Amino acid sequence: MTNGEFLAFVDDGGYGRQELWAPDDWDWSHDEERRHPATWTSQDCRWLYRGLFDLLPLERVKDWPVYVSLAEARAFARWRGLRLPTEAEFHRAAYGDPTGGERAFPWGAATPGREHGNFDFRCWAPTPVGAFPEGASAWGAHDLVGNGWEWTDTPFTGFPGFEPWITGYRGYSADFFDGKHFVLKGGSWATATELLRRSFRNWFQAHYPYVFAKFRCVARG
């Protein structure tokens, strides 16, 4: 979803509509007095986007992916009558193909290059959604790698048979199997190429808004 699409949610009073939010998400948003994404600010009655180096008019970045917390993404999805994907659904959309097999990357087997997406500090900012058509998946989905981590609605926990890969190492795994952290996939514009492998799982708490994390929605059913 883009900044422009999320603006419609804001203009419709989405942050003030309790019925759109899960109870704990609402408590967080209400207590924090959230009224817009953390990357936005208002000045002289107009929206501005907080870039890495300066403020930009929101209309200039309306086609960039919106960066929000999982709580905000879930509220938007309910507003649209949709939901967030699970980790398994995202994985299939990103790496699956019509034959039932899997690709190393959404576009195929080729090593990630500049033509495939916005990662490894290529632009130092998001880019318009769909700006890298050569990085599309077998299903035609864009920006599955780069341009922002992607929220899933799957709690971060180990797969069946999981064991820490180094004895005693828990800092990037089991310490966060607490039901409060959720899986993110893909990678942002600041993610190193080496971390773009399909097995990599990132995670953040649902109420953490300061992350380069975008989202997409899927139909309910």
pLDDT in tens, 48-77: 999 999 999 999 999 999 999 999 999 999
Residues 6+ apart with CB under 8 A from 156: 176, 177, 181, 182, 183, 201, 203
What is residue 196's predicted lDDT score, i.e. its pLDDT? 97
What is residue 158's predicted lDDT score, i.e. its pLDDT? 86
**Tokens 């109870």 map to which residue?**
23
Helix spans in 15-96 (H)? 23-31, 70-79, 87-95
In a domain, 140, yes or no: yes
DSSP lists the bridge partners of residue 108 as 105
In a domain, 4, yes or no: no
In a domain, 13, yes or no: no
Strands (E), the chain: 40-43, 46-50, 55-57, 82-83, 149-155, 181-185, 202-205, 213-214, 218-219
What is residue 86's predicted lDDT score, i.e. its pLDDT? 98
Tally the domains of the chain.
1
* 66, 134 contact by CB (below 8 A): no
Tell me how far apart the 2 most distant CA atoms of the chain are, in Å.
Answer: 55
Please give the structure tokens belonging to residue 36.
Answer: 């817009």
What is residue 168's predicted lDDT score, i.e. its pLDDT? 59
Q: Which residues of the chain have pLDDT under 50?
A: none
CATH of the domain at 215: 3.90.1580.10
Its domain, for residue 159, covers: 66-219
In a domain, 16, yes or no: no
In a domain, 139, yes or no: yes
Gap between the Cα atoms of 105 and 187, Å rounded: 12
